[in-house]
């Protein structure tokens, strides 16, 4: 009967029908936000279509408002002439007061919604009526099922079959007959209410999307990221250890990975952020894949340990699910605010590779890639996602395990021929040092945060050696560019007037906006960067092939500063810092200005 169960099933039901979708959940930061107030409103937006879907949509066709506050917050996102399904009970005197409507003003009655198709339904009363035979349930428990009633009604409007949802509920609540049966009864009540109430003049049927053949499932970003980490562990043959402290919106990765002990995954909920990364560093030193997950405030706390891992030159994956900042900021809202922090947010010269996922399903690939880079280049790697990607969902064509490449890992097991003693900082062609498991006979070596002498690893305060080691560590990171894919153009011409460059969760918005303008005959192309440090070797050459480069970001302009600095490109910025994705129509308008 919980709201998140309903939302998860809507996405699953849509994906199972072969319909493309994108979702966007929006919820308050407070654990117990005041019910009925504007700050307490939570919502879930889903965009589904028989055509390819890249964003959750700018404006909605249908808005379900369970109370007055929900209408007040979300009405601006409904297109003119759109459908409003309003729960009458949520617009009583108390709810209108909590939502800060003026005395005596009820938007359902005052004509302010005349530009919309308003459907008033007493969801609360109908839900209670459907559950009247469940005498063991009080009104509070019955009211929790209101979302299931609305879900049934929406299923009727869009010609959906109830069976997949009933199976989902059975899997979720099969061992709790009262909860299972009551949910099913309310779901059916909502469906048949739509059929008999004659409130709707039109029903809709969305055909399957024309997608590449294959096996698909609905996936959320944090789920895909967790699976990518597990796949990386399996393909490297190493155990995975997560040392983490719960923080929104990264906590779900801890929850997800804790389910997979059968794959050799070990999770440790530490007492704080510093303990989490320190435990992960210890796991890496001992021969495991060390992993820590967090968001922006946690990255700040992990800073010193990040520098230590960089000095030790051991493999470590740091996942940052970005949120609105600074400080505690907007814990449940999305932002691309931590790119500069990932690049430069450590004392001294401490370069760390940075990669970024672009969609929920892309989190799998980039998590796998983070493991590969960390292991093969003996370095910490920062993987950036954000709240929109983490909590959003889309269809994912999942790969076969046999199709994933093996990640080769080589431990130092003894002295090589001709070696008189172990040199822990003697480097290979990738400038990576050897990985020696503690306790291996003859391979004793010193670690720590003090500067190391080249090759020997002894503590060194020599100025020439320090400069050499700083330059060498930077060269090692830059050399990763030889082992990552070249940058490609996502859509459009290889040379032209306007190139829109993005990273992270702006992918869908840019893709949709550029596609719309290309259909209008505009000379505009799209490139999306996933390898942020180092950049792909050909990125500079691509940027110089266009008259104008536009960089949209959900921050105050971070990638644009790095691009300008590195390539001397007079790129133009487009920035939105509102806790939500950039709207497609906003970006279309901005691109059109360049013509």
Alpha-carbon span 241 to 238, nearest angstrom? 10
Instruction: Check if CATH label 3.40.50.920 holds for domain 496-593.
Output: yes
Range(s) for CATH 3.40.920.10 in the chain?
3-196
Q: What is the DSSP string of 184-242?
A: HHHHHHHHHHHHHS---S----PPPP---SS-EEEEEHHHHHHHHHHHHHHHHT--EEE
**Helices marked H in 302-395:** 303-312, 339-344, 362-377, 387-391
Residue 493, beta-bridge partner list: none
| pLDDT in the model for residue 1 | 35
Q: Which helix (H) or strand (E) holds 465?
A: helix 463-479
**Dihedral over Cα of 451, 457, 462, 463: its sign:** negative
| pLDDT in the model for residue 50 | 85
| pLDDT in the model for residue 168 | 85
Range(s) for CATH 3.40.50.970 in the chain?
219-397
Alpha-carbon span 51 to 210, nearest angstrom? 7
From the options 3.40.50.970, 3.40.630.10, 2.60.120.10, 3.30.70.360, give the CATH code of 219-397: 3.40.50.970
Alpha-carbon span 415 to 422, nearest angstrom? 6
Range(s) for CATH 3.40.50.920 in the chain?
496-593
CATH architecture of 3-196: 3-Layer(aba) Sandwich (3.40)
Run means of pLDDT, 10 residues per run, the chain, 595 residues? 56 77 83 83 88 87 94 94 95 94 92 94 95 90 92 93 89 90 95 92 85 87 98 98 97 97 96 98 97 98 97 97 95 96 96 98 98 98 97 92 96 91 96 95 90 95 98 98 98 97 97 97 98 98 98 98 97 95 95 96
């Amino acid at each position: 009967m919980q709201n998140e169960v309903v939302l998860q099933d809507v996405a699953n039901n849509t994906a199972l029908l072969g319909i493309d979708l994108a979702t966007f959940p929006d919820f308050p930061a407070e654990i117990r936000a005041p019910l009925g107030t504007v700050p307490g409103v939570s919502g879930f937006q889903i965009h589904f279509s028989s055509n390819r879907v890249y964003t959750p949509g700018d404006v909605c066709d249908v808005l379900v408002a369970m109370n007055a506050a929900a209408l007040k917050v979300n009405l601006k996102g409904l297109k003119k002439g759109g459908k409003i399904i309003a729960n009458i009970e949520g617009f009583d005197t108390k709810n209108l007061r909590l939502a800060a409507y003026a005395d005596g003003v009820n938007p359902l009655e005052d004509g302010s919604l005349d530009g919309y198709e308003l459907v008033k339904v007493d969801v609360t009363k109908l839900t209670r009526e459907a559950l009247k035979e469940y005498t063991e349930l009080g009104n509070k428990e019955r009211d929790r099922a209101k979302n299931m009633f609305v879900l049934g009604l929406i299923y009727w409007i869009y010609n959906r079959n109830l069976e997949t949802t009933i199976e989902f509920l059975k899997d979720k609540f099969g061992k709790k007959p009262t909860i299972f049966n009551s949910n099913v009864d309310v779901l059916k009540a909502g469906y048949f209410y739509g059929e008999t109430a004659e409130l709707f003049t039109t029903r809709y049927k969305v055909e399957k999307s024309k997608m590449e053949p294959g096996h698909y499932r609905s996936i959320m970003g944090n789920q895909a990221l967790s699976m990518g980490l597990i796949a990386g562990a399996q393909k490297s043959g190493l155990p995975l250890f997560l040392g983490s402290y719960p923080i929104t919106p990264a906590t779900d990765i801890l929850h997800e990975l804790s389910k997979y002990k059968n794959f050799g995954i070990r999770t440790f909920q530490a007492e704080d952020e510093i303990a989490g990364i320190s435990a992960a560093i210890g796991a890496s030193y001992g021969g495991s894949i060390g992993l820590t997950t967090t968001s922006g405030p946690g990255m700040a706390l992990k800073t010193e340990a990040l520098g230590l891992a960089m000095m030790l030159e051991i493999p470590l994956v740091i996942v940052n699910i970005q949120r609105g900042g600074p400080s505690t900021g907007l814990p449940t809202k999305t932002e691309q605010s931590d790119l500069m922090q990932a690049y430069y947010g450590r004392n001294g010269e401490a370069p760390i590779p940075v990669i970024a996922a672009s969609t929920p399903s892309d989190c799998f690939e980039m998590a796998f890639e983070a493991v590969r880079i960390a292991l093969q280049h003996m370095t910490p790697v920062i993987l950036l996602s954000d709240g929109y990607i983490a909590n959003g969902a889309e269809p994912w064509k999942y790969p076969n395990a046999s199709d994933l490449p093996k990640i080769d890992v080589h431990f130092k097991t003894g002295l090589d021929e001709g070696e008189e003693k172990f040199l822990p900082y003697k480097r290979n062609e990738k400038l990576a040092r050897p990985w020696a498991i503690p306790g291996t006979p003859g391979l004793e070596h010193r670690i720590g945060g003090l500067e190391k002498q080249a090759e020997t690893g002894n503590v060194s305060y020599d100025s020439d050696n320090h400069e050499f080691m700083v330059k060498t560590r930077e060269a090692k990171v830059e050399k990763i560019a030889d082992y990552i894919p070249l940058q490609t153009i996502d859509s459009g011409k290889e040379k032209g007037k306007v190139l829109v460059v993005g990273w992270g969760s702006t992918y869908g918005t840019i893709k949709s906006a550029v596609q719309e303008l290309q259909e209008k005959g505009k000379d505009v192309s799209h490139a999306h960067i996933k390898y942020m440090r180092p950049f792909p070797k050909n990125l500079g050459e691509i940027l110089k092939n266009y008259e104008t480069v536009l960089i949209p970001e959900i921050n105050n302009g971070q990638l644009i500063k790095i691009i300008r600095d590195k390539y001397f490109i007079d790129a133009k910025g487009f920035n939105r810092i509102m806790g939500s994705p950039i709207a497609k129509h906003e970006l279309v308008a901005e691109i059109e200005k360049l013509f």
